[in-house]
Amino acid sequence: MKLLHKDIEKDNAGQVTLVPEEAEDMWHTYNLLQVGDSLRASTIRKVQTESPTGSVGSSRVRTTLTLCVETIDFDTQACQLRVKGTNIEENQYVKMGAYHTIELELNRKFTLAKKNWDSVVLDRIDQACDPTQRADVAAVVMQEGLANLVLVTPAMTLLRAKVEVTIPRKRKGSCTQHDKGLEKFYEAVMQAILRHINFDVVKCILVASPGYVKDQFTTYLFNEAVRQDNKILQENRPKFMLVHSSSGHKYSLKEVLSDPTVTNRLSDTKAAGEVKALEDFYKMLQHEPDRAFYGLAHVEKAAEALAVDTLLVSDKLFRHQDIPTRSRYVRLVDNVRDNGGTVRIFSSLHVSELTQLSGVAAILRFPIADLSDAEDNSSSDED
């Protein structure tokens, strides 16, 4: 999603102009839209015309309308979003108050106005428009004195840092200056990694170079992690993967990403994270069943008790045609996040096991022994 314009007043009223760039952006838009909002977008309208002779014909014209949103229809299979409402701005083809349905299109901008933009909705826009949120993979392409740190998203590669350090040549009988230069270079690359890589999102960090630079750098990196007691680097060590590249320039990333071993590793990054979360849930269910619950009613009760440490939820639940039902899941996610819990939204491509758990499950911070018994009635009511 691309943000073209954002104008929010102090009273939280205002509007944003967005361009959906991929099918998934329609899902984000579906989550942003609410009944009573104002939506301005380009649309096709069938218009009747009368010729001088009195014959009546019809033609289809493209025009821009502003609707007061009344119904929102999202096609989960085709990722198509249709919004129906009444026209609230003067238009040569459509009378004020007349009904019309706008089908939002990819790569065509729309403007959404609300009387109240709350923090949750604004966060969702930031997430939809920030490509780093989707960057599962990071890469450090390097050679002596030069390193490029890149985030890799499904659609593009984003250069986040370029490190250049002059390294003195080795002299006969003394390598001191050379070694000091290398250490300064490695330190700068390490700081770039800590500053620009979100380890909660990134599942794999490729370190690529010609020769042994990548090996020497990773040895330095993890020795420093131990020396400085840097838990983030130590815990994420398995995510680092060493690969050969012909140089440290950004263009070498293409050959790195086409390496078959890299391709195999990257194809499973998101799925692997989901599998691990599910494994943790099932282990907890087996060994400490009072700290593992599934089903909406049970998980909501646990969230109300501020007990949810990790929430596992299928993205299909947010694509529910029934707005109140969808809103219920959104509230659950917001509640868990607001109270310091972790939320894992599973891709519908990898949620077969989660679907068997009603699409929602939770690992708790502390056991709630009587939750299952107390909620049996709620579960049966829900069914």
Q: What are phi and psi of 46, to 5 degrees?
A: -85, 125
Over the stretch 175-196, which tens digit does the pLDDT of each residue have? 788 899 999 999 999 999 999 9
What integer pLDDT is reported at residue 323 of this predicted model?
61
CA distance 147 to 177: 20
With 90 as the cut, is the pLDDT of residue 362 above it? yes
Residue with the two structure tokens 């694509």: 319
For 166-181, b/e burial (b = at least 16 CB within 10 A) is ebeeeeeeeeeeeeeb
Task: Please give the pLDDT value at position 379.
Answer: 44
Look at residue 120 in the predicted model and tell me its pLDDT: 62
Contact assessment for residue 302 and residue 341, using Cβ atoms and an 8 Å cutoff:
no
Percentage of the chain exceeding pLDDT 90: 51
Question: What pLDDT was estimated at residue 134?
Answer: 67
The closest of 145, 136, 272 to 211, measured between CA atoms, is 145
pLDDT, residue 117, reads 87
pLDDT for 117-174, tens place per residue?
Answer: 876 678 789 878 877 666 678 999 999 999 999 988 655 677 889 999 999 888 777 7
Contact yes or no for 40/64 (Cβ under 8 A): yes
User: What number of helices (H) and strands (E) belong to the chain?
Assistant: 12, 16
Q: Where are the alpha helices (DSSP H) in the chain?
A: 23-32, 119-129, 176-196, 213-227, 231-235, 253-257, 260-266, 269-287, 296-304, 323-338, 352-356, 371-382
Cα gap 353→346, rounded to integer Å: 11
DSSP 8-state class, residue 290: G
Categorize the per-residue pLDDT at 80 as very low, low, confident or very high, splitting at 50, 70 and 90.
confident
pLDDT tens for each residue of 22-65 = 777 887 898 889 889 999 999 998 887 777 777 777 888 999 99
CA–CA gap between residue 112 and residue 154 (Å, rounded): 26
Average pLDDT, the chain: 86
Q: Are 62 and 108 in contact (CB under 8 A)?
A: no
Let me know: does 218 contact 242? Beta carbons within 8 Å.
yes
pTM to 2 decimals? 0.55
The pLDDT score that the predictor gives to residue 133 is 65
155 touches 166 (CB < 8 A): no
